[in-house]
Chain A
Amino acid sequence: MALGFSMILGVSRSLNLAHGDLVVLGGYVGYSLWAAAGLSPVLLLPVAALALAPAALVWDWLLKRTPEPKELSSLVLTFGLSLLLQTVMRAIWRGEYRLIAESSLGASLQLGTLALNRGRVLAAVAALAVVGLLWLALTRTRWGQAVRATSIDPQAAALVGINVDGARRSTFLLALGLSGATGVLFATLHYVHPAAGVELTLMAIVLSIWAGVGHLRSVLAAGLLLGMIEALTVTGWGPGWREPVVALMLLGSLLARSGGLARGHAH
């Protein structure tokens, strides 16, 4: 999720405050399809990702038209979009807590002496796979080359023949697609409710600052590291320690790298 947030920041210099709400929307869409049609969560992932494509096009269209300075005006725009999304979700799903309580995911997976929750294993595997694929796409493909060049200097990118608008649009589609899929994973592990997105957005912002804004490689590394520490904490000390440890780590790293946001912009 933080990856998508950071990629959007990179290519459009926009802070998407509605990012967490889009994740929650993905979760609700997944929940509805699961409850109504009984689709398996693995199938729900791509469906929820596709369901957010129209939102991606709207976000791209709106953020392209926000005036300079982008970083500030996008805050105002996406804060409004965030409130709008929360209200719409409250109207549709009535603010109730929803969980994709797929029984097959609740079962534990026995690995030698380790008992793992299947849902968490699925989420971790999916996250790792996405990180790996995205890393390959960004470093090995023409598309990745175009996106990286666009986030460094859109004008220079246009001059070497890159369709900057296209690179930006595809980044929004991918980033919000990831949000939709993340939402489904989230809904299998936690209850979703219309206001749950705020916390997720904060998490994405903090992770991006931690990694340095716009540095895709660092975000990948930071997300991976955070995920691993999170997982080790849960298996070592129990789930109760997850939030405090993550919060402490983020606070500590922010203090240690207080120039993160500014340094990221300076490249």
Chain B
Amino acid sequence: MSAPLLLTVRDVHAGYDDLTVLRGLSLEVRAGEFVALVGPNGAGKSTLLKALAGLLPVTSGEINLDGERIDGLPPYAIAARGLTLIPEGRRLFGPLSVRENLELGAFLPKAHARREETLRTILRLFPILQDKHSAPARLLSGGEQQMLALARGLMARPRLLCLDDPFLGLARSVTDRFCQAVHAITSEGITILAAGQHVRRLLRLATRAYLLEAGQVALTGPGPALLEDPRLSQTLLELGTGAWQRPA
């Protein structure tokens, strides 16, 4: 835990028009970590990630990325500072080709300058994207689209990559490949903050995890240790989401 702090979230309140979801949430992510966010539906996982990326306004509190305050900045300015969010539902540019989607991922000047090099690394991780590079993104299968969403996020060469429910609706075999890719990515020095419903899969991958409940941090610790903690299953079972029982 001697790595420098990359992200600090302090006492953040945020939400939608009439609904405050995050109620004084605080957490931190150190450089090189894989941090998982788990918790029942409505606990604030997606809301936190959207607030980090600037898609939702932060009503109070502070978000710092590498020592620089980013709450209140527009999404493109946050992206330019090295935080990339791969949103829920992937949000690919459907009519554009796989290749064009990847190029758009490297839209920022810094990423653009190194896009050929990044592209080679990515196509080594996801050879399927090379085979389908001229196909429109919307014609890919669900798993391939998820790969493309991850690859597009990586094209930005982010310092912090935020993933919102990366396994949603994916087959086990696809998830495994996805996890391999994620491992390869972290070894290349990218920090990851991932939220999701698939608690077991996420916690096995994570170096550290936060359990969110009602817009606050309920529990934190190393991923596998959290998996053993009775309070985790209790929280998820009590709220009856079924996420815990679902075979991982």
Contacts and interface: CB of A to CB of B under 8 A. Distances in A.
Interface string B78-118: 01100011010001111110000001110110011000000
B104 A160 contact: yes
B87 A161 contact: no
Interface in A141-162: 142, 145-146, 148-149, 152-153, 155-162
B13 interface: no
Contacts of A204: none
B200 interface: no
A19 B187 CA distance: 54
A145 B108 CA distance: 12
A164 interface: yes
B75 A159 contact: yes
Given A155-B55, A161-B76, A164-B76, A149 B95 contact: no
A104 interface: no
Given A155-B55, A156-B87, A161 B79 contact: yes
Contacts of B105: 160
Nearest to B138: A267
B91 A163 contact: no
A3 to B, nearest CB: 18
Contacts of B152: 160
B223 to A, nearest CB: 26
Task: Choose among A148, A153, A160 the residue with the greatest number of B CB atoms under 10 Å from its CB.
Answer: A160
A161 B156 contact: yes
A155 B91 contact: yes
Interface string B169-206: 00000000000000000000000000000000000000
Contacts, number: 67
Nearest to B80: A161
A158 B75 contact: yes
Given A158-B75, A159-B87, A152 B93 contact: yes
B53 interface: yes
A159 B85 contact: yes
A163 B87 contact: no
A153 B84 contact: no
A161 B55 contact: no
Contacts of A267: 94-95, 138
A148 B95 CA distance: 10
B104 A145 contact: yes
B74 interface: yes
Interface string A155-191: 1111111111100000000000000000000000000
A266 to B, nearest CB: 10
A158 B53 CA distance: 9
Contacts of B53: 159
B95 A159 contact: no
B79 A159 contact: yes
B74 A159 contact: no
B93 A161 contact: no
Contacts of B156: 160-161
Given A153-B91, A159-B85, A148 B55 contact: no
A52 B241 CA distance: 56
A252 to B, nearest CB: 26
A145 B152 CA distance: 15
A164 B55 CA distance: 12
B106 to A, nearest CB: 8
B103 A149 contact: no
Contacts of A149: 93, 96, 104, 107
Interface string B3-40: 00000000000000000000000000000000000000
A247 B103 CA distance: 41
Contact of A158 (B55, B103, B138): B55
B49 to A, nearest CB: 11
Contacts of A165: 74
A161 B91 contact: no
24 contacts: A145-B103, A145-B107, A148-B96, A149-B93, A149-B104, A149-B107, A156-B93, A158-B54, A158-B76, A159-B53, A159-B55, A159-B84, A159-B85, A159-B87, A159-B91, A160-B79, A160-B84, A160-B104, A160-B108, A161-B79, A162-B76, A164-B76, A267-B94, A267-B138
Interface of A: 142, 145-146, 148-149, 152-153, 155-165, 267
Task: Give the 9 A-B CB pairs with smallest separation, nearest first.
Answer: A161-B79, A158-B75, A156-B91, A161-B108, A163-B76, A152-B93, A160-B107, A161-B76, A161-B107
